[in-house]
Structure 1
Amino acid sequence: MKNEYSSYLSQTAKEIQPSGIRKFFDLAASMEGVISLGVGEPDFITPWNIREATILSLEQGYTSYTANPGLLELRQEICKYLYNRFSVQYNPGNQVIVTVGASQAIDLAFRAIINPGEEVLIVEPAFVAYAPLVALAGGKPVPVSTSPENGFKVTPEQIEAAITEKTKALLICSPNNPTGSMLTKDELIELAKVMEKHDLIVVSDEIYAELGYDETFTSFAAIDGMYERTILINGFSKGFAMTGWRLGYIAAPVEFVEAMLKIFQYTTMCAPHMLQIGAVEALRNTYHEVEEMRKSYQRRRNYMVQTLNEIGLDCHTPGGAFYVFPSIRSTGLSSEQFAEELLMAEKVAVVPGNVFGESGEGYVRCSYATSMQQLQEALKRMQRFVESRKMVLQG
């Protein structure tokens, strides 16, 4: 063996950076008394009926492999759900794959469609995994930056300006992580015109579809002309409070699914049998709980936005997900400086906005997927920190 292990590593693996989110999670976990607003995870426990169905499945011995794309029963329920909730119709026999989380679904999508050097447009600020997953598939991630002046929503003109002869696809997440922005049906229609004009594929991450507040969520696949060119990504983590279950799914035209299924067969085989049974129960009998969670998040969102603006951190009102993305420019600190100093001074963990792309610099992501009591205390501490920074700036 050589002493220098890096010589054995692929160039891609060496160039990919560790998650900036994990850095702050790990630091916060090593301290006592920290209130974390960094975790993109529901604070609710998975509803009991889902857990009970899964426990029963174990007792009954459902511990074998399933079919590669997942239990047919679950794929049927996914298709019913997508049709009843979002008016998109898929065939459970050949248009759905149950994956190990939505992140794996995105990974499969990129590996199935990207040739070396092809470009994928990524609307930023964006979830930290998107660009690395494009790179791992041999593609080139191309950021398309948004701004608070437009509610962190991408425009057709911005997409047009970013397209080159190498552009293959657009990756979009609505509601968005980290900004919470949610595109309206009319806005999606305008983006769809650009997709059709340039014959592009759309990878639509809709994992926060159940967490829209002020307007009705619209799936990109439901827009006229987009069904044939959209790879729809969704899952159970956010809306159903099932993050640790690692269950996601892909719904797409048959040709896309066939290509992704070949990769999935060789890399994973199938998602865990007993967890898929729990997901069947989630889709059949958990809508009341999902709605109650959504209402709770909406109350917390309203409180967070109002209070952050009152303490001097300008914050737009997000349309969905469970994040706010306030500006911290008034403090004179960079995003990383703000996050580090806030953690050390007041023991509140937030995620610096720059980890979500260059356009996130000057902002931090705060998750309101925690109790109102914790949010109130966290914002008191943040107010103290902001006031101390004002005193420093005033000399």
Structure 2
Amino acid sequence: MGNNIYGYIRKGKLKKIMKIFESKENGFVNSRNEEGYPLIHLAVEFKQTSILEYFLQIKDIDINITGPRNLSALCLAVQKGSVKVCKCLIKGKADVNFRTSKGYNALHILCEQEKPEPALVELLIKHGINKDAQTRTGLTPIHIAAINGHLHILRILAEKKADISKKDFLGMTPFHYACHSNMLSLVKFFLDHDIDTNTKDNTGSTPLHLMCSKNSPLVNVQLLLSKGADINIADNDGFVPLMRAVVHRSNQMIEILLEHKCELNFGKMSCKQFLKQHGVFSSDHPVYRAYRKQKKKNRNKKESEQISNKTKEKATETTKEKKKENGKKVVEKKKIKKPKNFDNKPTKLHPTASPLRFDTVENFFQEKKKENNKNKENPKKDISSKNVKINNKSSLKNQQNIEKKERKQKKGKKDKKEKK
């Protein structure tokens, strides 16, 4: 193919191109220039829609023919950002889901551009492009948009229900790449869409690990922590975010992690050994200072726990002793038996008691105890005491007889009165 047709396409001279095609054989439309570009690609390159429409009317044209960079005409049109040319090719039935040798489709290529056209995203999705298609490395269009910081493209894809949490073959989500890019607007976008803040890649790294490795802006880290990022989660090597911050010598990042009370856990190594291994040990290092403070707190806690345990043990022992003492007292009280009607109140006299000597039952028993004690001391006096009892009994009988006689006399007098 001569240089004439190449110049005519660039200048948009459709009539001269038509005259050339009249004298050419079938299949000429798929021929290439010296650099390997097909005619249809040259029309797309210079955005000559009228010439492109003429080429598409030719029966033998291969609309998906690739150029030197393994791109189709539609991929090239997307790369150029021409909505008109893309519409023309889609009308001519270009393959919207065409893939390059690296697995890129037109949407991947669009997200790679410095200033992607939002209208093209909607056009491609409208005509059935796979918005979650993965490249050979597992990247989706959202991954590429996040890597390049295209927030407006991300919003359109999210509205069209593209998968914003899909992982590539390294296990990284678009949110991982957003955190790695240090762009606050991207981080906010994914957090507003309820993304998992603790999702891990194949190395076990979370977005917080990446931020600590990258010395990200402190605002991004604080925002991520406020949304529930795990500050003590370890990667496959056992590294927590604090260890990553120490390795990359980010003192500001270390201060934020310490403020959020991260664990000072360095695996099998001590704090001092870890800091020495990475050449950052000093007595004034913020991590080492925090480590010493924590040790003191732990000691104080143990001592206070020991003291409290001892006091609890003593308290339980004293309560047990008190219970035992109370139990003994109860048993002693149960053994002591009080006599019936022992209420310090005047009651009926005991039949053996002399009414002249005893006013209450209690006085009677007290007197009787005294007599028994005297008998024990002086056993000879037992006989006399018996005589006293007998005399008391006889006196009671005489008194009772006298009372009976008096009663009979009174009854006799009453009966006489009633007869009269």
Does TM-score exceed 0.5, indicating one fold? no
Larger RCO of the pair (alpha carbons < 8 Å, separation 6+): 1
More helix by share: 2
Shorter-normalised TM range: under 0.3
TM-score by length of 1: 0.21
**Normalising by the residue count of structure 2, what TM-score does the alignment of the two structures yield?**
0.20
Q: Which has the larger radius of gyration?
A: 2
> In proportion to residue count, which structure has more strand?
1
